[in-house]
Chains A and B, each alone.
Chain A
Amino acid sequence: MTAHPFDRPGDAGTLLADLLAGRLPDARGRFGPFGGRFVPEILVPALERLERGAREALADAEFVAQLGREARDWIGRPTPLTPARRLGEAWGAEVWLKREDLAHTGAHKINNALGQALLARRLGARRIVAETGAGQHGVASAAAAARVGLPCTVYMGAVDVQRQAPNVDRMRRLGAEVVPVRSADATLRAAIDEALRAWVADPEHTFYLLGSAVGPHPYPWLVREFQRVIGREARAQVLEAAGALPDAVVACVGGGSNAIGLFWDFIADEDVELVGIEAGGSGAPGASHAASIACGTPGVLHGAQSLLLQDEHGQVVETESISAGLDYPGVGPEHALLARLGRARYETATDGEALEAFAECCRLEGIIPALETAHAFAGARRLATTRPGARIVIGCSGRGDKDLPSLAARREAP
């Protein structure tokens, strides 16, 4: 890897110890060499206020209790850990599904959206803006904004407005304004650009409800804290149901919020393998994909230093995936660190592998997963072939209803 002026070397052992001791991100928002706060000056005071407000809220027993009540009564937590017996038989493994698809609005995104919306209200924000790729974070934000009584505007790439149409309708019914974004590649990355611009225009009163573990500090930390409930529950549930820790935990990685949430409480369990699955696109030689960790290089996008799909001139390249929620050229800085430390392993699944895994999960388990989630199933299936009998927990990050119209259109296409 080339030397990089913003890249701080750090000893892997120390960094892992720091991470486990809760010392990362550090005071400057760094996860070792990654993270930070690379934003227009106008957003710096807003990010500092957000960081202060978030730290106070998370240390306030009343706020934490309120979040817990809302998570139980409105989201429906805890979500189950479902034994996937028929998939397990087919793969020769012991498979467990952490069912975020059963959370209110149908994906893990709601954990973070609720947390941030409660925070927005506590900090006196007048409105919420959010970006969305698959539409799941947009729906979660619209629902959470309605729940706390704040207006919400969602920026969504025009390509995604097409391919995730059911979610556009849901957002609008939940009272949100949906703004199609036509700039850049008209997918998630362009939607983040546009949400940031909306925030730049009103940094004092607008709350940016960022949907993944990406962006400038404090977002990667904040989103992780709100998503950690996934792994905390899953770890207790698997210990209770199987009497032992899993051999591996597998999650799909777009920006990385469901994966970091599921992984976090297992990081200290050295024998538990952590595996993130990125979108491999069509898999054709030379074709675009969204595998930022497998194929990216260090760079700065959307306010943080991380691993990035970019050309030799530092321009962000266009990504390609069947899954709108994974179609993003960057990844959360904490994943970049886990990859560099070797504590988590990242692989890719192609569109075809994801579609196969999607069909298999539908038929064998009676569960229609999101196309994003299907990448995790594809990765877990591959792992099972190399580790017969392994106990695997899969992050079932969301339900696939939103994908059915685009899958039907695909089938009808010549």
Chain B
Amino acid sequence: MSAGARVEDAIRAANASGRPALVAYLTAGFPAPARFADDLRTLARAADVVEIGVPFSDPMADGVTIQRASRAALEQGTTPTSILDALEAMDPRPAAPLVLMSYLNPLLALGVGTLAQRAVRAGIDAVIVPDLPLDEAAPLAEPLARRGVGLVQLATPVTPPERLARLCAASRGFVYAVTVTGTTGGRAAIAPGTLAYLERVRAAARVPVCAGFGIRSAQQMQALAGHVDGVIVGSAIVECLERGEDPAALLEELRAGTEDRR
């Protein structure tokens, strides 16, 4: 099986039933480490893929919501090791394939070899590293690929065509198409030009394309459906968990925005 294949399959399966896949993000250890496994199981039932965020002290690509969640999770002692331990101990296992999202430095501290080994045991099928551009990715991508774990590349609206082609070719699991110039958690409507950009990414990619950053409404979902293979919802879920609400209800509402398209 090629690296990241389970994630790719889960996205394609959602597409086969006529809708974009839902990729749900949570910051591990937020609101509380003790809730992590339960929250993860809930999200894994409601979404097609779950992205688990490793909190970092300096999340430079993140807006205020994930900054706040990361800080709270760190203050409660969350580490890459504690996350992997929790994942390995989960019984029953989450119902959806898992993607680990982490800034580079915590992964370096863990050790790339250790990460590759433990990711497999923890059921992680792909890894996203927001501060590791394609040009620097090989020392992480290769050991991960040897264990069947994919490294997801990010595309952005300002990525030049030649570079887009290279990063789409290198991406495993899916291509993460950042929809906005900005950090996570904004609340913009889908801008004019976004759909054309997403189509460009799709034309360049052989793996599925998932759109993310600032997606939180059924309207946005509706605008994107048909133009992407999946949608990543992050800050909106984190805020939902923060308020003590049920993230499954939010995901249900978002999914309803796309279901008429069948």
Chain A interface residues toward B at CB < 8 A: 4-6, 28, 36-42, 44-46, 183-184, 189, 193, 196-197, 200-204, 298-303, 308, 310, 312-317
Which B residues are in CB contact (< 8 Å) with A316? 57-58, 105
Q: Please determine whether A200 and B136 come into contact, CB atoms closer than 8 angstroms.
A: no
Q: Please determine whether A183 and B67 come into contact, CB atoms closer than 8 angstroms.
A: yes
Which B residues are in CB contact (< 8 Å) with A200? 60-61, 181-183
State how many angstroms separate the Cβ of B22 from the closest Cβ of chain A: 23
Which A residues are in CB contact (< 8 Å) with B178? 41-42
**Stretch of B6-14, B41-49, B127-135 with 4 or more beta carbons under 8 angstroms from chain A:** B127-135
Query: Could you tell me the distance between the alpha carbons of A203 and B59 in the complex, rounded to whole angstroms?
Result: 18
Known pairs A40-B130, A314-B109; A184 contacts B163 (CB<8 A): no
Q: Please determine whether A40 and B140 come into contact, CB atoms closer than 8 angstroms.
A: no
Q: Chain B contact residues (Cβ within 8 angstroms of A): what range? A: 35 or more
A-B contacts, CB under 8 A, total: 121
Look across to chain A and name the residue whose beta carbon is closest to the beta carbon of B164.
A41
Look across to chain A and name the residue whose beta carbon is closest to the beta carbon of B130.
A40
Q: Please determine whether B133 and A44 come into contact, CB atoms closer than 8 angstroms.
A: yes
State how many angstroms separate the Cβ of A277 from the closest Cβ of chain B: 25
Which A residues are in CB contact (< 8 Å) with B136? 6, 28, 36-38
Query: Could you tell me the distance between the alpha carbons of A40 and B158 in the complex, rounded to whole angstroms?
Result: 12
Query: Could you tell me the distance between the alpha carbons of A373 and B129 in the complex, rounded to whole angstroms?
Result: 38
Given contacts A37-B133, A44-B163, A313-B109, 19 further A-B contacts (CB under 8 A): A5-B112, A6-B139, A38-B131, A40-B130, A40-B154, A41-B159, A184-B71, A189-B58, A193-B59, A197-B61, A197-B63, A200-B183, A301-B58, A310-B105, A310-B109, A313-B80, A313-B81, A314-B56, A314-B108
Which B residues are in CB contact (< 8 Å) with A36? 136
Look across to chain B and name the residue whose beta carbon is closest to the beta carbon of A197.
B183
Q: Is B211 an interface residue (CB 8 A)?
A: no
Query: Could you tell me the distance between the alpha carbons of A189 and B154 in the complex, rounded to whole angstroms?
Result: 25
From A41, A193, A203, A303, B134 is in contact (CB under 8 Å) with A41
Which A residues are in CB contact (< 8 Å) with B67? 183
State how many angstroms separate the Cβ of A206 from the closest Cβ of chain B: 10
Q: Please determine whether A40 and B108 come into contact, CB atoms closer than 8 angstroms.
A: no
Q: What would be 15 A-B contacts, judged by CB atoms less than 8 Å apart?
A: A5-B112, A38-B133, A39-B131, A42-B154, A42-B156, A189-B58, A193-B60, A197-B183, A200-B182, A200-B183, A300-B104, A312-B109, A314-B105, A314-B109, A315-B105
Q: Please determine whether A39 and B133 come into contact, CB atoms closer than 8 angstroms.
A: yes
Query: Could you tell me the distance between the alpha carbons of A42 and B106 in the complex, rounded to whole angstroms?
Result: 21
Look across to chain A and name the residue whose beta carbon is closest to the beta carbon of B81.
A313
Query: Could you tell me the distance between the alpha carbons of A41 and B158 in the complex, rounded to whole angstroms?
Result: 9
Among residues 108 to 123 in chain B, which have CB atoms less than 8 Å away from a CB atom of chain A?
Answer: 108-110, 112
Q: Please determine whether A299 and B133 come into contact, CB atoms closer than 8 angstroms.
A: no
Look across to chain A and name the residue whose beta carbon is closest to the beta carbon of B67.
A183
Query: Could you tell me the distance between the alpha carbons of A312 and B109 in the complex, rounded to whole angstroms?
Result: 7
From B106, B112, B154, B167, A313 is in contact (CB under 8 Å) with B106
From B56, B57, B74, B156, A41 is in contact (CB under 8 Å) with B156
Look across to chain A and name the residue whose beta carbon is closest to the beta carbon of B183.
A197
Query: Could you tell me the distance between the alpha carbons of A42 and B63 in the complex, rounded to whole angstroms?
Result: 15
Q: Please determine whether A299 and B108 come into contact, CB atoms closer than 8 angstroms.
A: yes
Which A residues are in CB contact (< 8 Å) with B192? none
Q: Please determine whether A40 and B131 come into contact, CB atoms closer than 8 angstroms.
A: yes
State how many angstroms separate the Cβ of B68 from the closest Cβ of chain A: 9
Which A residues are in CB contact (< 8 Å) with B130? 40
- Interface flags, B158-179, vs A, CB<8A=1, else 0: 1110010001000000000010
B57, B134, B139 pick with most chain A CB within 10 angstroms: B57
A4, A44, A184, A196 pick with most chain B CB within 10 angstroms: A44
State how many angstroms separate the Cβ of A227 from the closest Cβ of chain B: 24
From A6, A203, A310, A317, B181 is in contact (CB under 8 Å) with A203
Look across to chain B and name the residue whose beta carbon is closest to the beta carbon of A43.
B133
B60, B106, B132, B183 pick with most chain A CB within 10 angstroms: B60
Query: Could you tell me the distance between the alpha carbons of A240 and B72 in the complex, rounded to whole angstroms?
Result: 58
Q: Please determine whether A204 and B57 come into contact, CB atoms closer than 8 angstroms.
A: no
State how many angstroms separate the Cβ of A297 from the closest Cβ of chain B: 9
Which A residues are in CB contact (< 8 Å) with B81? 313
Which A residues are in CB contact (< 8 Å) with B156? 40-42
Query: Could you tell me the distance between the alpha carbons of A316 and B61 in the complex, rounded to whole angstroms?
Result: 16
Known pairs A6-B139, A42-B156, A200-B181; A300 contacts B134 (CB<8 A): no
State how many angstroms separate the Cβ of B179 from the closest Cβ of chain A: 11
State how many angstroms separate the Cβ of B141 from the closest Cβ of chain A: 11
Which B residues are in CB contact (< 8 Å) with A301? 58, 105
Look across to chain A and name the residue whose beta carbon is closest to the beta carbon of B143.
A5
Which B residues are in CB contact (< 8 Å) with A312? 109
Q: Is B26 an interface residue (CB 8 A)?
A: no
Q: Please determine whether A38 and B132 come into contact, CB atoms closer than 8 angstroms.
A: yes
Closest CB pairs A-B (n = 9) = A314-B109, A314-B106, A5-B139, A42-B156, A313-B79, A314-B105, A201-B182, A316-B57, A315-B57
Query: Could you tell me the distance between the alpha carbons of A37 and B133 in the complex, rounded to whole angstroms?
Result: 8
Which A residues are in CB contact (< 8 Å) with B182? 200-201
Which B residues are in CB contact (< 8 Å) with A203? 158, 181
From B56, B135, B143, A37 is in contact (CB under 8 Å) with B135
Q: Is B221 an interface residue (CB 8 A)?
A: no
- Interface flags, B31-66, vs A, CB<8A=1, else 0: 000000000000000000000000011111101100
Which B residues are in CB contact (< 8 Å) with A183? 64, 67, 71
State how many angstroms separate the Cβ of A248 from the closest Cβ of chain B: 34
Look across to chain A and name the residue whose beta carbon is closest to the beta carbon of B153.
A41
State how many angstroms separate the Cβ of A284 from the closest Cβ of chain B: 23
Query: Could you tell me the distance between the alpha carbons of A312 and B82 in the complex, rounded to whole angstroms?
Result: 13
From B80, B109, B181, A299 is in contact (CB under 8 Å) with B109
From B56, B105, B134, B158, A42 is in contact (CB under 8 Å) with B158
Which A residues are in CB contact (< 8 Å) with B109? 299, 310, 312-314
Which B residues are in CB contact (< 8 Å) with A317? 57
Look across to chain A and name the residue whose beta carbon is closest to the beta carbon of B132.
A38
From B105, B135, B153, A28 is in contact (CB under 8 Å) with B135
